[in-house]
Structure 1
Amino acid sequence: MESVKFPSGPIDIAGNLHLPADFDPAGSYAAIITVHPGGGVKEQTAGLYASKFAEQGFVALAYDASHQGESGGEPHFLEDPGARVEDVRAAVDYLQSLGYIDAERVGVFGICAGGGYSVAATKTDHRIKALATVSGIDIGSSYRRGWLGTDPDSAAVPTLDAVAGQRTAEAQGAEPAYIPYVPAQPDENTPRDLVEASDYYLTPRAQHPNAQNKKLFTKSISKIFGFDAFHLVEDLLTQPVLIIAGSEAGSLWASAGLYSRVRSPKRFVVVDGATHMDFYDVPKYVERAVTEATPFFQENLAARN
């Protein structure tokens, strides 16, 4: 693994480049970009998958999003969907600048909100030749409609009213407000996936000092609530797509909705018994995702004569 930096507009992105064990700098490789969940960093599940894909012979890049982790961007702790999508495009730029990467063989693998960002990037950047998501969500829909997707989009209005009030207060000198990505103290009303997310991010299971479970309230929420990662996928997403999700995931509706809309070559793998978070680090389910994704990428990122 090599620590690397590359630009996403004016922001320096910090990444980890995972190389195959028999890596030859004079060779020509297919590459996979792994896109981390909201609130995550490259050292967590995105890095785990990058290392797994490197074991399969790919060059794989995991990185911290703009305004997060070790990457630059002020203010920090900002979840900006537009910047997140641009980061994926910038990662493609970086990989295509490397002499040992075949510029026509770049794929993307997105986890959770990273899956949605990967969809949004892929549909408008056709340098990306194959897309896979695991436990994928559109962060906009998930925030507007709730984790289980049962609320109408209009349920977001009271939160937007609160954002307006807080932004006015901050404009008049109040300190910025932050909110968590996952509940610090889940209760009986917390969806199972989010209870498991709290265990993943906030305990030694996967806790990392660069993932502090906080985002700016006003500047993040106003951007997230207006975002739709799957808009126009019917017409703009032409690349092959693999969608992986767990049968017990509360977020399954998001992956199912994406699958129903995509018109390009597609496959939907629903893994029996798996929850949303199982695909982050539980060996049985990580291996299943890699087992499904590896031949998908091998086929769709194959060298062309």
Structure 2
Amino acid sequence: MTKLKPLALAAVVALAAGEVGAADYRKNPFTLTYDGAITENVAGKVNIHPVKYMLNGLEIAANVYTPPGYDPGQSYPAIVVAHPNGGVKEQTAGLYAQRLAEQGYLTIAADAAYQGASGGEPRNVDKPANRIEDISGMADYITHYAGVDASRLGLLGICGGGGYSLAAAKTGKRFQAIATLSMFNSGRVRRNGFEDSQLSSIQERLQQASDARAQEASGKIIYANDTPLTDEQIAKLPFEMYRQGAEYYQRTNAHPGSSARYTLSSLLDLMRFDATDQIELINKPLLMIAGSKADSLYMTEDAFAKATGTSDKELFKIDGATHIETYWVPEYVNAAMSKLTPFYRRTLEDTRG
């Protein structure tokens, strides 16, 4: 157990007791859930700009963060930030987007289509093709934002957003630098189970997803993970990532747009997807960050080893951190930023002379 875990427990207890902390979305005008979040736009500092745009007929809700002293007449590098599975832009994606904006980048974090405040029915469809398209859509929008130098575009994917960022970067050559944090290979886990623990039930689960798809045709939507967990149920979850994730999403950093549920039929797409397929197509600088104590670390290590298309790559392990702790624990966020900042500075610097 790391020395900061008691902080997470204290936050859970505080929220359960009805106390309001800095991470309470109800007390933030932008419903941001992270400590140190922007509460008002102040001239000369990082500002947040809620925006909406259309992507394939759906309205996407996003937050754009502009750096201190932002001048639309100047030229800035930009970074797309993709949120975790079940997450929304107001949680860890927003935290990293804000921290990167502090370093001089113009950043964007958007809710995935069918999720959060973005459009799409039925709700909580979770298909890889959609998530990859979401990343491309953020790139489309931010590269036309006033002051952005489209030739200096970076990408950061967190958890499931990390796996989808790898997939987007295989063919999306606009991204000049790709980073992942606590990368989660959604297809592998949905297919094989966490730590490949459900190999024996693949065909059974595919049959369930197929049946769910058939029922959708008659208007009945079936969801997985549709019921919030009690504290007792959370404590009994078999993996630390899932236990801490439930605390993060349901307790300490809860947001009404965030949900662990997804349409069961989504498994038909998820289970034939793998973030590492054709990963050798990534030929740009790659930085992969994960906690040294994360039970999801094997996914980052596997992807890193297979990313043979670039020689400019680094795997950085945050000493003592678990998967979820990289989302919000200050010590570990600072550690991640200590690698992200020089990485993007080197790869997205202005070389126009």
Q: Under a length normalisation based on structure 1, what TM-score does the superposition of the two structures give?
A: 0.94
Q: CA deviation at 1:186?
A: 2.5
Distance 1:171 1:87, change over 3 A: closer
Q: In the aligned structure 2, how far is the partner of 1:64 from the partner of 1:73?
A: 11
- CA RMSD between the two structures: 1.6
Distance 1:196 1:181, change over 3 A: farther
SS in structure 1 opposite 2:334? helix
Q: In the aligned structure 2, how far is the partner of 1:189 from the partner of 1:10?
A: 38
Aligned twin of 1:140: 187
Tell whether the 8 Å contact from 1:149 to 1:253 is kept in structure 2 after alignment.
no
Query: Where do 5+ consecutive residues of structure 2 fail to align?
Result: 1-47
Structure 1 segments, 4+ long, off by >6 Å, are: none
The code of the aligned residue for 1:215 comes to Y
- Are 1:100 and 2:147 counterparts? yes
Q: CA deviation at 1:201?
A: 0.4
1:244 equivalent among 267, 289, 304: 289
Deviations 1:109-165 (CA, angstroms, capped at 9, x unpaired) = 01000000100001111010000001002100011122223554x642211111223
Q: In the aligned structure 1, how far is the partner of 2:217 from the partner of 2:259?
A: 25
Q: CA deviation at 1:100?
A: 0.5
The code of the aligned residue for 2:333 comes to V
SS in structure 2 opposite 1:48? helix
Aligned twin of 1:297: 344
Q: CA deviation at 1:96?
A: 1.7
The code of the aligned residue for 1:227 comes to F
Q: In the aligned structure 2, how far is the partner of 1:293 from the partner of 1:242?
A: 8
Tell whether the 8 Å contact from 2:78 to 2:143 is kept in structure 1 after alignment.
no
Q: In the aligned structure 1, how far is the partner of 2:161 from the partner of 2:257?
A: 17
The code of the aligned residue for 2:120 comes to G
SS in structure 2 opposite 1:186? helix
Deviations 1:18-61 (CA, angstroms, capped at 9, x unpaired) = 11121111110001111000100000000010000011111110
The code of the aligned residue for 2:105 comes to F
Distance 1:260 1:150, change over 3 A: farther
Q: In the aligned structure 2, how far is the partner of 1:22 from the partner of 1:191?
A: 44
The code of the aligned residue for 2:178 comes to L
Q: CA deviation at 1:271?
A: 1.6
Q: In the aligned structure 2, how far is the partner of 1:38 from the partner of 1:255?
A: 16
Q: In the aligned structure 2, how far is the partner of 1:249 from the partner of 1:256?
A: 11
Write out aligned runs for 1:59-70 (5 A): 59-70=106-117
Tell whether the 8 Å contact from 1:38 to 1:181 is kept in structure 2 after alignment.
no
Distance 1:262 1:181, change over 3 A: farther
Aligned twin of 1:202: 250
Which protein is bigger by CA-based radius of gyration?
2
Aligned twin of 2:28: none
Aligned twin of 1:162: 208
1:254 equivalent among 274, 299, 302: 299
SS in structure 2 opposite 1:148? helix
Q: In the aligned structure 2, how far is the partner of 1:88 from the partner of 1:276?
A: 22
The share of aligned pairs that are identical, in percent, is: 38
Aligned twin of 1:191: 239
The code of the aligned residue for 2:300 comes to S
Query: Where do 5+ consecutive residues of structure 1 fail to align?
Result: none
Aligned twin of 1:79: 126
Write out aligned runs for 1:8-157 (5 A): 8-152=55-199, 155-157=201-203
Tell whether the 8 Å contact from 2:126 to 2:262 is kept in structure 1 after alignment.
yes
Q: In the aligned structure 2, how far is the partner of 1:172 from the partner of 1:182?
A: 23
